[in-house]
Amino acid sequence: MRYILETSKLVKTYKMGRNDYHALKGVDLKVRTGEFVSVMGQSGSGKSTLLNLVSGLDNPTSGSVMLDGMKISQLNDAERTLMRRQKIGFIFQFFNLIPVLNVLENVTLPLMISDKKTRESEAKAKELLKLVGLADKLTAYPAELSGGQQQRVAIARALVTQPALILADEPTGSLDSKNSRDVMMLLKDCQSRMKQTIVTVTHDAEVASYSERVLFMKDGELFDELFLDPDVPRSRRIREITSRIEVMTYGA
């Protein structure tokens, strides 16, 4: 399959009293299997709206979303919930772990919900927790972990169902710079080792510098696109991203 995710002429219009507010104005987004894409743009440019439509949390006003061969904009609520559980792993800014469950239980939870919990799935969760460097924290509770460790648990949880797509919304937004780097390197590693497709939304050029392609949103539209060469030093990639943001914000 050429694209794991494809949106076509995606429009989202909110009613604001008597007026319409066009949050997305016909977005055509294409993401290849195994690709790592960042979406950047100023506050209000439509990034969260796009994520909500791609994940089926909200319905488009018009246009379509295809994920892993499934036209999700045509599914009913129950079908979309099932699709989300099976095909998407979420990583959030504030981790969203379940405080009363320990690390291993948090990671096996998505498999329990989808009725897939077996002895093998616990082994899978343990293997992923080893991959994210937390093999010695299986019985710890989220409150006993640092922010960076909690986000690594969230990454293991997102991977456990072997989703078609990981959606990461400001994954380092509540981490310091060292933990941010570790989390992004881990995500990058998951992408290259497991051919995991990742789409992340971020305000941070350093976070975006780990991806292969950056999409810039402005006023509900895809404004620009930048392919990043992994062989050039990260500082140069960050400068390239920053200068595109300047062009988008202030003009060429």
Q: How far is the CB of 12 from ligand ATP (least distance, A)?
A: 8
Count CA atoms within 13 Å of residue 153 on its CB side. 30
Q: Residues near 210 by Cβ (< 8 Å), separated by ≥ 6?
A: 36, 38, 184, 185, 187, 188
For binding to ligand ATP (CB under 6 A), which residues are involved? 14, 16, 21, 23, 41, 43-49
Distance CA 88, CA 235 (A): 31
Q: How far is the CB of 66 from ligand ATP (least distance, A)?
A: 21
C-beta closer to ligand ATP: residue 191 or 202 = 202
Distance CA 91, CA 152 (A): 10
C-beta closer to ligand ATP: residue 88 or 104 = 88
Distance CA 244, CA 119 (A): 49
C-beta closer to ligand ATP: residue 41 or 110 = 41
Q: How far is the CB of 145 from ligand ATP (least distance, A)?
A: 26
C-beta closer to ligand ATP: residue 170 or 182 = 170
Q: How far is the CB of 10 from ligand ATP (least distance, A)?
A: 12
C-beta closer to ligand ATP: residue 48 or 242 = 48
Q: How far is the CB of 77 from ligand ATP (least distance, A)?
A: 17
C-beta closer to ligand ATP: residue 150 or 202 = 202
Looking only at the bridges linking them, the beta strands covering 62-67 and 3-16 are antiparallel
DSSP for 161-219 reads T--SEEEEESTTTTS-HHHHHHHHHHHHHHHHHH---EEEE-S-HHHHTTSSEEEEEET
Q: How far is the CB of 187 from ligand ATP (least distance, A)?
A: 20
User: Which secondary-structure segment (H or E) carries 90?
Assistant: strand 88-91
